[in-house]
Amino acid sequence: MKIAIMGAMREEIEPILNTLGEYTSEEYAGNVFYRAEYAGHELVIAYSKIGKVFSAMTASVMLERYGAKVLLFSGVAGGISKDLKIGDLIMASKLCQHDVDITAFGHPDGFIPESSVMIGSDDDLRSLASEIAVDMGIDLYEGIIATGDQFVASSERKSWIGKTFHADALEMEGASVACVCHNFGVPFFVLRAISDTADGSADVDFDTFLQSSAQVSAKFILEMVKRLGD
C-alpha cells in the first residue's frame, strides 16, 4: 500500500529517514518528498514546515500527487491532560482548530460553517495502534488534540483550550491534516509524543525534548507501517 508519513519539523521525520537508510527525494511545491520501500509498502515521507497552512498543503500533495491511500502523522505536542508526561504518546481520537473564532455570529469556538468542530481519525488505525502498544508494553493515550497557529506557552491559554474543547494535547498541524484527509476520504492517524506542557516552561522544555520525543513517536509509526495490511 502507498502510505504517507508526515511531520511538521525536520526533527520529526529524521528518525524515520535514518531508520530507512535508503530513499530517493524529489522537490515539489516548496517541500522535499522522500520515497522509500519498507515492509512491503511504498512510503512517501515529508515534513511540511510549521502550522496549519503548510501542513494542509503537504498533506494534499501526498494524497493527490503521490496517491497515498493512508496518512500517518508523527511528531511532538504540548500536553494539557495532567496524565500526560514528557515522552508519553497520545493518538488523536478527534481533532479541532482551537484558533478558529467566528463566535461573533453565535457559532461555537472552532466551528466553520459546512464543517464540524471535531474531525475523527480512523477507527481501524486506532485499533491497530492500541494492539501494538499492548504488544510493545507501552502506554498509549487516546484523546482530543487541539490545533492552532500558536506555540502555546501560557497556563491561561492552555487551560482555555483544555476546557473549551476537552482537549488533552495541543499542537499546530493535526487538525489541518485531518481536514484534508477527511475531505479526500483518506484514512489518517495522528500520533504525538509530549515535548512540553504548553505553559511557562514550554519553550525550554520543547528545545530539550523535541528530539527524544520525536524519536518515540517515529519508532511507533514505523511499527504501525510494519503491521499495516495491503
Rounded-to-integer distance, Cα 109 and Cα 96, Å: 10
Position 95 contacts ligand 3QA (CB under 6 A): no
Name the residue among 78, 80, 97 with its Cα closest to residue 162.
80
The residue from 11, 12, 173, 199 that is catalytic is 12
Which of 4, 8, 146, 218 contacts ligand 3QA by CB under 6 A? 8
Q: How far is the CB of 224 from ligand 3QA (least distance, A)?
A: 20
12 catalytic residue (yes or no)? yes
Q: How far is the CB of 137 from ligand 3QA (least distance, A)?
A: 25
- Mask 99-138, x = binds ligand 3QA (CB under 6 A)? ----------------------------------------
The residue from 11, 171, 173, 196 that is catalytic is 196
Q: How far is the CB of 192 from ligand 3QA (least distance, A)?
A: 7
Those residues whose C-beta lies under 8 Å from the C-beta of residue 220, and which sit 6 or more positions away, are 74, 89, 129, 132, 133, 136, 138, 140, 191
Residue 169 buriedness (CB in 10 A; 0-12 / 13-18 / 19+): buried
Which range binds ligand 3QA by CB under 6 A, 38-46, 74-82, 127-135, 220-228? 74-82
Rounded-to-integer distance, Cα 142 and Cα 34, Å: 29
Interface positions, 165-224, toward ligand 3QA (CB under 6 A):
170-173, 195-196, 198, 202, 206
223 catalytic residue (yes or no)? no
Please work out the total of residues on this chain that contact ligand 3QA, with binding judged by CB under 6 A: 18
Q: Which is nearer to ligand 3QA, 42 or 149 (by Cβ)?
A: 149
Name the residue among 52, 91, 114 with its Cα closest to residue 169.
91
Which of 152, 167, 190, 218 contacts ligand 3QA by CB under 6 A? 152
**Residues that bind ligand 3QA in the complex, under the rule CB under 6 A:** 8-9, 50, 76-78, 151-153, 170-173, 195-196, 198, 202, 206
Q: Tell me the catalytic residues.
A: 12, 196
